[in-house]
Structure 1
């Protein structure tokens, strides 16, 4: 059986709402490439939207060079000017910088050594596994009764 592979930078996994009202799923890379055309993320759960926005802020800072102020390469005044220049650009982020950034790092959820946003040691250190429903308030988990929603651990929903 081949190893699982899911590159989050390329696979459509982030629901976005475009300025024209069209909704589509995009990978992280495409979200930054089309950021100037996107109105909002279309994530239904506020914690998921918050987590995605935090990641996108960090990615945008790295791609745009706005993270350079943290290591002293840019003064606060230079940072503010760079930010204003970027916001005035109708073309969005530099596509070369976006591709360079995403090509440099691993974005695969199932990478054997460095899975994206996961600690591979958990597979060996955690003896008892739990379903995704444990993370979402209001969903039944384990053998609990489904009072508030029809979700079960045997049929996980995002």
Structure 2
């Protein structure tokens, strides 16, 4: 395209694009589609240099006619017939729980590898939500023993987790 054609096309865009966009938005009620149609219309004008040689009113009429025909073609298309725009997704995304599940398996394996007395106290305290006094009553051992088993059980659990490659 010759430099003068580029200037004419730029002038055509600057002169008509805003009005053309408003016209297409009025027809479609869709800003994004209107931008696409205006862009495609101006591309067609660029590919057809005879439009640039027309008078101002003829070029404007040609642009609006092309844009209108593109809107009609879009409305008749299969895409338009089968797509329904919506503000909300039909399914709600859920966070991936794979990491949490793998962590649970790692903790369960590590718990299985420590002694029964330590495992029992840890399960009662952390999974059962019981206090030291409640655990002591249930297991019929002194509170100090429960505290000691918790301390050494957690150390053993930490070591078992590190041996499995889970570190924090």
Give TM-score scaled by structure 1 length.
0.25
Task: Compare the two structures and name the one with the higher strand fraction.
Answer: 1
Answer with 1 or 2: which has the greater Rg. 2
Task: Compare the two structures and name the one with the higher helix fraction.
Answer: 2
Give TM-score scaled by structure 2 length.
0.24
